[in-house]
Amino acid sequence: MIQQTTLRLAVAAVLFQLSVSTFAAETDFQVGFGRKKITPTESLWMSGYAGRRQGSTGVLDDLYAQAVAIRDRSGTRALLLRIDVCTLHDATITQICELIKQRTGLMRREMLVNVSHSHSGPAVDELYHYPMTTTHREKLAAYMERLKALCADAAADALNDLQPAVLEFGTGEANFFHNRRGLDANGRYTGMLANPDNHADRDVPVLRISNPDGSVRGVVFGVACHNVTLGANYEFSGDYAGQTRIQLEQEIPHALFVTGCGADANPHRGANGHELVRQHGVTLAKEVKRVMAQPMKSVRGPLKTVFRYVDLPLVTFSSRADVEQMRRGPFADFGNVNKLLAILDRGAQLSATYSAPFAVWQFGNDLTLVGLPEETVSEYVPLLNNAVGKRTLWTAGYCNDVSSYLPTVRIMDQGGYETRGFIADTQAGWYAREAEKTLVEAVAQMVDEVDREVADHSKPTPVETFAEWGFEPDLPHSGLKAIGDVPRGERGLRFDGDSYLEGPPVALPEVETKGLTMAAWIKPDLAGMQGNRMIVCQWANAIGSDRFGLSLNNGKPSLGVGDGVTGEQGFTCGQTLSAERWTFVAATWEPSTRRYSVYIDGKLTSTTGMQTGSGINTASKTTLKIGAQATPNNPRNFIGLIDDVWIGNALNPAAIEKLYESRSK
């Protein structure tokens, strides 16, 4: 036992030696699935083709929003949401992610959104792009609001479905599509023609998700090709991606398609679109199952995610005449030219950059998933493979924002359809040549960042002590004021439901960046397992005074923080303690993710519950209390024994285990 003689409020840094944390879980991950059918129930204008002149007339196959949630042993969570629509802009995706955050507590960096880019779906985020009637526009706007809610529902279902899982990865090959950029003898674009000499990304990434007993729960797979087999039809469909899901889910509970960098690739097409789309689905499903039947690479933790907006350079202009010249240049697009001229007519400046969202997920040292924005051409796959070094890299396009084509420098020089720029109603025109270099460098930096996080994962967080208290026989209350009768127990002090210890406010230096950990040894009586029993807190049931609290909520460890503005934010873990037994309870609030975690005897608990920590009220002057909240008429007093309370910065799992070992009795 580490004896403490007083409440120490000075900051003390202790660097633990390197150690590898061990976990009770049998697998590195827990995975959950969720889905909602998003097929419109009425005729809506469809996306992908300007030649359509009416709304939809039927349904070939249903559209879905599907989610897969992943949680590693350290409590890191991530959500992949894929949606059967053609385009979604950053603003709309941000709204969806905010709804998911409200439901689940996930932060934006923990979410990756991919659209299937089916040209047989509703024209979401394109209310003014097509010549639809006012009635169709109103119906489409209402559908978009329903879509956002359904996406949040799918995400919440996935987080509620977390179960132990084994992840494995493999790669297949697809040949049912072709590069669609025809070139003349001089290397100039001639039209959408099959070009076997141009680059196409033919990889089929396959992530198998199995139960610990080996039975398959789901698969996430992808291919780099437009979903346009059906052409300008009037039936809702997921195209070949939807047909592949149908084929796979005859044997596998969940199959999620992720669109790759296929902006310059089209599937083989013909007069019988219905038969061809089914054939492409059968072909791709067979390849996914073939990969899954072969030995696959184990994918282990930890899971680290990073999300960042990158300012990609745009074509700039020195005069209005330069903008008008674009009508005759390789980037010719009347819509973009007219849009930029309208901006100049308003006296506004043209944008020099576009802030595009990027995501990178790193699974230990086994798999790197990169989510690129926009309609990304296939040449970015080898460019990134070369930039990030030897690793298993899965590069997806159509992630987090689909507002424009994103060509490489080589394709810009060739000209043509994929250089037409921003189709969406934004302030942007065309990506500049420098965008390629900026993109590659940004992704390489993000990969380096998650690599460092993985490497540092097993290193215990350096410890800073904000306050601590431990029983000392010669000074039982260790400098704190005893309220009521707080006698010595066989270890620590006994709290009878009316008594508690009180001390001055705790200083929390830079808590908004360092986070918070609360820890204590406790032995609750049976009576202490009923209701909310506060272990340690600086809490007053008043928004401006609330700060933090660690308690037992009907026997389950519960923690919360108060930001001084919105009141208490917190969660209760799903594991109930045993009465009449000493247990080391630690809880953390991590500022970068706003995530709560609870550890029992040095191990992360099996559930993380809702994650809604918005911040900590550093201005609170409420006194520290051990054994009670001590709020008038709502004391929440502890019943049982408490010893060795520690308050400090947010610790990672390795540091929590070290803290437990150092304070074990």
Same domain, 435 and 464: no
Q: Which domain holds residue 538?
A: 12-20+459-663
Tokens encoding 64: 């879905």
> How many whole angstroms separate alpha carbon 131 and alpha carbon 51?
9
Q: Given the structure tokens 């029993």, which residue do they identify?
A: 533
Please check whether residue 45 lies inside any domain of the structure.
no
Cβ atoms of residues 549 and 539 within 8 Å: yes
- Prior bond of 302 cis (ω within 30°): yes
Q: Given the structure tokens 């306050």, which residue do they identify?
A: 467
> How many whole angstroms separate alpha carbon 336 and alpha carbon 350?
12
pLDDT at residue 606 above 60?
Answer: yes
Task: Report pLDDT for 516.
Answer: 96
Residue 633: exposure state from Cβ atoms within 10 A (0-12, 13-18, ≥19)? exposed
Give 2's pLDDT tier (boundaries 50, 70, 90). very low
> How many whole angstroms separate alpha carbon 594 and alpha carbon 612?
7
- Per-residue pLDDT of 71-109, as tens digits, reads 998 889 999 999 999 999 999 999 999 999 988 888 899
Task: Report pLDDT for 482.
Answer: 94
Same domain, 502 and 433: no
- Per-residue pLDDT of 109-121, as tens digits, reads 999 999 999 999 9
Same domain, 490 and 613: yes
Task: Report pLDDT for 19.
Answer: 26
pLDDT at residue 443 above 70?
Answer: yes
Same domain, 465 and 436: no
- Per-residue pLDDT of 152-194, as tens digits, reads 999 999 999 999 999 999 999 999 999 999 999 999 999 999 9
- DSSP for 283-344 reads HHHHHHHHHHHS--EEE-S-EEEEEEEEEEEB---SSHHHHHHGGGSTT--HHHHHHHHHHH
Same domain, 520 and 581: yes
pLDDT at residue 41 above 70?
Answer: yes
Domain boundary among 440, 473, 506: 440
Same domain, 484 and 554: yes
Task: Report pLDDT for 268.
Answer: 96
Cβ atoms of residues 262 and 416 within 8 Å: no
> How many whole angstroms separate alpha carbon 257 and alpha carbon 245?
7
Q: What is the DSSP letter of 195?
A: -
In 10 A of CB 424, how many CB atoms?
20
Pairing of strands 463-469, 64-72: unpaired
> How many whole angstroms separate alpha carbon 456 and alpha carbon 362?
13
Domain CATH code at residue 559: 2.60.120.200
Task: Report pLDDT for 23.
Answer: 30
Backbone torsions φ then ψ of 110, nearest 5 degrees = -95, 5
Tokens encoding 279: 């054939």
Please check whether residue 4 lies inside any domain of the structure.
no
Domain boundary among 390, 409, 440: 440
Same domain, 547 and 409: no
Same domain, 492 and 424: no
Same domain, 474 and 431: no
Residue 179 bridge partners (DSSP) = 265
Please check whether residue 657 lies inside any domain of the structure.
yes
Instruction: Evaluate if pTM is beyond 0.75.
Output: yes
> How many whole angstroms separate alpha carbon 636 and alpha carbon 586?
19
Backbone torsions φ then ψ of 180, nearest 5 degrees = -105, 10
- Strand, helix or coil at 60? coil
User: What average pLDDT score do residues 562-576 get?
Assistant: 85
Query: Directed axis angle between helix 434-456 and helix 380-388, to 10°?
Result: 40
User: What average pLDDT score do residues 362-369 get?
Assistant: 97
Give 12's pLDDT tier (boundaries 50, 70, 90). very low
Please check whether residue 201 lies inside any domain of the structure.
no
Same domain, 617 and 657: yes
pLDDT at residue 424 above 80?
Answer: no
Please check whether residue 601 lies inside any domain of the structure.
yes
Please check whether residue 322 lies inside any domain of the structure.
yes
Same domain, 606 and 504: yes
> How many whole angstroms separate alpha carbon 107 and alpha carbon 612?
9
Task: Report pLDDT for 14.
Answer: 25
Least confident of 47-51, 538-542, 577-581, 643-647: 538-542
Number of domains in the chain: 2
Domain boundary among 384, 405, 440: 440
Task: Give ∠ CA 267-42-399 in degrees, rounded to 5.
Answer: 45
Please check whether residue 292 lies inside any domain of the structure.
no
Give 608's pLDDT tier (boundaries 50, 70, 90). low
Residue 71: exposure state from Cβ atoms within 10 A (0-12, 13-18, ≥19)? buried
pLDDT at residue 453 above 60?
Answer: yes
Mean pLDDT for all residues in the chain: 91
Same domain, 320 and 364: yes
Please check whether residue 132 lies inside any domain of the structure.
no
